[in-house]
Amino acid sequence: MSSPDRAMTGVVSVELLQRLQNEILETIARGAPLKTIADLICERAEGLAPSALCSILTVDAEGFVHPLAGPSLPSFYCALLDGLAIGPRAGSCGTAAYRGEPVEVTDIETDPLWSDYKSLAVPLGLLACWSSPIRARDGHIVGTFAFYYRERRGPADVERQIVETCVHVCAIAIEHDEAHARIHQLAYYDTLTGLPNRSQFQDRAAAMIANAARGSSVSLLYVGLDHFKSINDTLGHRTGDQLLAAVAKRLATCTGEAAFLARLGGDEFAIVQVSVGGRAPSAQAERVLAALEAPFELDEQLTTIGASIGIASAEAPLVDFDELWRRADMALDAAKRQGGGIYRFFAPELDVAMQLRRKLKQDLRAALAGGEFSVAYQPIAALETGALVAVEALLRWNHPVRGSVSPSEFIPIAEEMGAIGMLGEWALNEACAAAATWPRAIRVAVNLSPLQLKQPGLVLTVVGALNRNGLAPSRLELEITESALLAESAATRAALRELRAVGIQLSLDDFGTGFSSLRSLRAFPVDKIKIDKSFVGDIGRKADSAAIIRAVIGLAHDLGLKTAAEGVETEGQLQWLALQGCTQGQGHFISAALGAADIRALLETVEAIPLTTPHARSQTG
């Protein structure tokens, strides 16, 4: 074994090492790339130790090494090291990282640590190697710093001083780079799915638009998952997060290289693509819908979810990204309103509809203050006898210009505005006040929004309305939707149990139109199941609707619950429902919704409605 060079037997001055350290720290502070910093460290170290060839490797979290710098080593040799695993016999660097301590190999050709790798080094004249681990502040290994020699020898004392300084600044540089990478990851990537986030999407989309060739089509696909909230509420947020991560993986596999995918937040994703020729955005949308068709297995449970997609396109260079986004958002809203599971292109009429919706919000605020709302009352009859057994209170809005506005149009807007609580409380009080004046103790049914069920103080509000108007709790029936039942939040559970405890009856409205859950039905016992009018309207036309109605009636019978069919419009529907054992019905064939004075008059004169003639027509003329 040869001795170290005579020139290396002295001591490098403290000033030289301090100068090296300061230069590297200044380079880090200026924000230079890690590769540039590592190359500079190697060059300065080799300048102080001329007979050494410097190498810096990083070690990833899985224990694999990656070349960072080795300016005097052959590039192909460095490339061969990439991805090698650290271990007890992994050369000097891999072993040093594995042991967490320096490893000195004075003869690569004969040392057992190099038995699997000497054929790479010896032909290049690399005969010895001394490697030191680079530790982060918390002690974990982030890399190695090595000196190779072209002679069989170990390090000189002066080289140990050099390496000590270099390992220190390497640790600072690597940790600084990892911190910067973490900050960048948090700033530009979604932590749950690993996809680019909204911020990066906006930057990337703007760059793609700026670089799009004249005449090419820039398309934005806005993807929203259907009924994700119901799944999240039913199965829990942990499962919801797992679902989002799984959806992201499927979306990534069906997004082409020319497109850019990101998660915007919540259950929304977006894809921007530049198309030339036949690459239509509809093909991408179809791939997305197809990718989400198969069930997801989450915690050994199969879960299905669909998606709605809004698409907006514009021709370069006349592309305004903010406008493209606004249009895609409107198209997504239209796709969801059509039932979901489809894609919809932006069309000018959607813009008109959005403007009308915005105007309706403004009008709704004025209506709340101006007393434009009223309550109508629709009788509910026993199908076997025609006896009037209850009355449903229905909220009405008489717009000064548009006339009657459908509840299906203004209720969602009231929920968006956060006004549903105030509006619902007003309707409840009106219904209780009206029912208190009726000539007999017939029950009044009032609808509750899912959002109302989540509001603190709901039970006090309901009991207050009863007490204020002198109405017995047994005369009030509250109708809740499946979505409210499926939410299964602590607030919902508590509210429903307290309401039933005071004697108020509960009905499950629009049963069969959502994600029906028998488990939830057992957890929240109700008194009545209402069959949605969409099924009733298909009686005699669609066999599957008839099968669903029979199943619901059978389920209710087995659970000891009443059933009420909504939207009974014909004698044939009424007779078929009665034959199946449906206990109650409401609809225009029985009676139209009536004003407060008319319902009171009806209850004063009629105890049972003849079910062979449409009573509604004789009442409304």
User: How does residue 409 score in pLDDT terms, banded at 50, 70 and 90?
Assistant: confident
Most confident of 152-161, 228-237, 407-416, 523-532: 152-161
- Give the integer Cα–Cα distance in Å for 506 and 528: 7
Residue whose tokens read 């979604």: 190
- Model confidence pLDDT, tens digit, residues 318-361: 778 888 898 899 899 888 888 888 999 888 777 676 777 778 88
Residue 218 CA, distance from chain mean position:
25
pLDDT in tens, 230-245: 787 777 788 889 999 9
Q: Is the pLDDT of residue 465 over 80?
A: yes
Q: What is the mean pLDDT of residues 189-201?
A: 92
Residue range 388-395: mean pLDDT, rounded = 95
Residue labelled with tokens 């640590």: 113
Please identify which residue in the block is written with the tokens 């039970």.
Answer: 459
What domains, with CATH codes, occur in the chain? Answer: 6-187 (3.30.450.40), 198-346 (3.30.70.270), 356-586 (3.20.20.450)
- Give 84's contacts (C-beta < 8 A, 6+ positions apart): 64, 65, 90, 94
58 - beta bridge partners?
Answer: 66, 143
Residue 453 near residue 485, CB atoms below 8 Å? no
DSSP E strands in 435-556: the ranges are 443-447, 476-481, 505-511, 528-531
Rounded CA separation 40/295 (Å):
53
| pLDDT for 346 | 87
d(CA 540, CA 546): 8
Strands 343-345 and 584-585: unpaired
What's the pLDDT band for 617 if we cut at 50, 70, 90? very low
| Per-residue pLDDT at 98 exceeds 50 | yes
The answer on pLDDT for 511 being more than 90 is no
> What is the DSSP secondary structure assignment for residue 189, as one 8-state letter?
B
Q: How far is CA 61 from the centre of its chain?
A: 28
Please state the rounded mean pLDDT for residues 161-178. 95
Would you state the pLDDT for residue 616?
45
CB 399 within 8 Å of CB 410: no
For the cut 80, the answer to whether the pLDDT of residue 521 exceeds it is no
Q: Are 171 and 141 in contact (CB under 8 A)?
A: no
Cα–Cα distance for residue pair 81/131, rounded to 1 Å: 14
Distance of CA 142 to the CA centre of its chain: 34
What are the b/e assignments for 195-209, b being 16+ CB within 10 Å? bbbeebbbebbeebb
pTM of the model: 0.54
| Higher per-residue pLDDT: 10 or 452 | 452
Q: What backbone phi and psi angles, to 5 degrees, belong to 71?
A: -60, -25
The whole-chain average pLDDT of the chain stands at 88
Confidence of residue 621 (pLDDT cuts 50, 70, 90): very low
Report the range out of 252-256, 313-317, 496-500, 595-599 with the highest average pLDDT.
595-599
The DSSP call for residue 113 is G
**What is the model's pLDDT at position 239?**
87
Q: Is there a contact between 324 and 317 (Cβ–Cβ < 8 Å)?
A: no
Kindly state the average pLDDT of the residues 579-600. 94
CB neighbours of 331 closer than 8 A, spacing ≥ 6? 222, 309, 310, 311, 312, 344, 345, 346, 347, 350
In this prediction, residue 8 has a pLDDT band, given cuts at 50, 70 and 90, of: very low
List the one residue out of 20, 345, 364 whose CA is nearest residue 163. 20
In this prediction, residue 7 carries a pLDDT of: 40
pLDDT tens, 552-579? 899 889 888 999 999 999 999 999 999 9
Burial class (CB in 10 A: 0-12, 13-18, 19+), 214: exposed
Residue 210: pLDDT band with limits 50, 70, 90: confident
Taking the C-alpha atoms of residue 574 and residue 619, their distance in angstroms, rounded to an integer, is: 19
Q: Is residue 144 over pLDDT 90?
A: yes
